[in-house]
Amino acid sequence: MKNLTIISPFSFSVPYSEFQLSKNYLCRIMLQLSVLKDQTERVLAGLAKRNFKTAEADVRAVLDLDQRRRSLQTQHDQAQSEANELARQIGGLMKSGDKAGAEALKVRTTELKAQIKLHADELTATEKAQTELLYKIPNVPHESVPAGRSAEDNEVVREAGTKPELAAGALPHWELIKKYDIIDFELGIKITGAGFPVYKGQGARLQRALVNFFLDEARDAGYLEVQPPILVNEASGYGTGQLPDKEGQMYHDAADNLYLIPTSEVPITNLYRDEIIPVEKLPIRNTGYTPCFRREAGSWGADVRGLNRLHQFDKVEIVQITQPDNSYAAHATMVAHVEQLLQKLELPYRVLRLCGGDMGFTSALTYDLEVWSAAQGRWLEVSSVSNFEAFQANRLKCRYKVEGGKTQLLHTLNGSALALPRIVAALLENNQTAEGIRLPQVLHAYCGFDTIK
């Protein structure tokens, strides 16, 4: 096994050199340009909702660079075309034995070569500058997204279930796990470090039960189960947008230049990178269970006790890839699916529409689902369901053919269904009794027991 090393959160790498990326890689992100160009006002208005301060300057710079790029491309193509023609002529002359004629043409060719080299270098530099800028511009929020700065400004869409009344002396989950000896943080610290708990006995079985329950529910809802790798390459990180934005949040294996996934969104969505998907296979619906790894750099404090925030945790993800017209309908079904899971688990929850400032970099619309953690007396985020529209698809080059043979970008979506640790926290806290922790009906068969004692 190679060493796991952590890269600086401030380093910023762009995939030109070491990775196996084609020349056309730079062109991929260019597709986004049509939107920037044709709908500049809408884009700027959307980015304003995110408090993306440099939006106006960045967009203008990108468009300026684009003009420069296109004019260079035209010049370059013309010079190349002339050179190709001359090469053809030289070939003909050589064949007919006219060496002097061939030599005469080579003079012009040499000139052109120098010119082409100049254009090519400048073109590459321009493209690179443009791509770097484009990679830094976040997705444009959907019109329904409220403006806002932070979690304070998120909108509560609905609330469901009843918060339990806990008896006096009720314990937070970090006490309960000790009382029943089901999750051990100290052991995890010994073998790895803080934030890597060890699940034991009924705790381990509860984990396995939840994973199976979530996967079965997803399958019944029409999602195909996949088991992807949990280490991904750089291209995959760029594809779903974790790179370069969140580079410092991922564990990085420097020896092989691979990243431990922060969510199975990354490998599952990248399954469809560089694909033109036949229209009859749409929509794609995948589900998968993986462990997830997050450095959570800079996250400390009382809110992160116990299972609230971990470096490694388990999650079942649902992913959809749809035609553009269907993505918001798909988003609604995904939110409904997650709500059903929470209802079956008998957990009180609420649904939030995230404001522009709290939304992820790549998302156009995100609904967070939070469960009520009775002993902590606070809501815990257990799922985030997002529509990325064409933002990821653009980076992924994930397309389909429309009527008439033109290729068009698809829309990608994903949601947690569900992340385990906070579900476990809520289950433990909300269901504690003098006799033990009474698990909801749906889990009994999966666990092989109904009470944690």
Q: What is the DSSP string of 130-179?
A: HHHHHHHSPPPPPTTSPP-SSGGG-EEEEEES-PPPPPTT---HHHHHHH
Near RNA by CB under 7 A, which window of 5-13, 18-26, 49-57, 377-385?
18-26
Paired sense of beta strands 398-401 and 275-276, if any: parallel
Nearer to RNA, 85 or 181 (CB): 85
d(CA 216, CA 223): 9
* 110 is a contact residue toward RNA (CB under 7 A): yes
Backbone CA torsion sign across 311, 312, 313, 318 = positive
CB-nearer residue toward RNA: 27 or 297? 27
Residue 117 near residue 123 (C-beta atoms within 8 A) = no
Q: Show the beta-strand stretches assigned E in 7-120.
A: none
We find the least distance from the C-beta atom of residue 84 to RNA, in angstroms, to be 4
Cα radius of gyration rounded to whole Å, the chain = 27
Binding status of residue 257 toward RNA by CB under 7 A: no
Examine residue 340 and tell whether it contacts RNA (CB under 7 A). Answer: no
Extract the tokens encoding 181.
Answer: 């000896």
Residues that contact RNA, how many (by CB under 7 A)? 38
C-alpha torsion angle, residues 179, 181, 187, 192 (rounded to 10): -100
CB of 187 to RNA, least distance (A): 24
Q: Is 96 in the site for RNA (CB under 7 A)?
A: no
Nearer to RNA, 95 or 158 (CB): 95
Helices 202-220 and 420-430 sit at what angle, rounded to 10 degrees?
A: 120
Q: Judged by CB under 7 A, which of 74, 96, 340, 433 binds RNA?
A: 74
In angstroms, rounded to a whole number, what is the distance separating the alpha carbons of residues 384 and 415? 5
Q: Is 109 in the site for RNA (CB under 7 A)?
A: yes
Query: Among 13, 80, 212, 451, which residue interacts with RNA (rule: CB under 7 A)?
Result: 80
Within 13 Å, how many C-alpha atoms sit on residue 157's CB side?
18
Of 20, 162, 298, 302, the residue at the interface with RNA (CB under 7 A) is: 20
Q: Which of 5, 11, 54, 84 binds RNA (CB under 7 A)?
A: 84
Query: Applying CB under 7 A, which of residues 73, 212, 323, 326 lies at the interface with RNA?
Result: 73
Q: Binding of RNA at residue 448 (CB under 7 A)?
A: no
Task: Decide: is 22 part of the binding site for RNA (CB under 7 A).
Answer: yes
In a 3-state reduction of DSSP, which class is residue 225? strand
All residues at 6 or more sequence positions from 152 whose CB lies less than 8 Å from its CB, including other chains:
none
Encoded one letter per residue, x for contact with RNA by CB under 7 A and - for no contact, window 364-403 reads -----------------------------------x-x--
Nearest to RNA of 24, 162 (CB atom) = 24
Write out the residues near RNA by the rule CB under 7 A: 20-24, 27, 30-31, 66, 69-70, 73-74, 76-78, 80-81, 83-88, 90-91, 94-95, 102, 106, 109-110, 113, 276, 399, 401, 405, 407
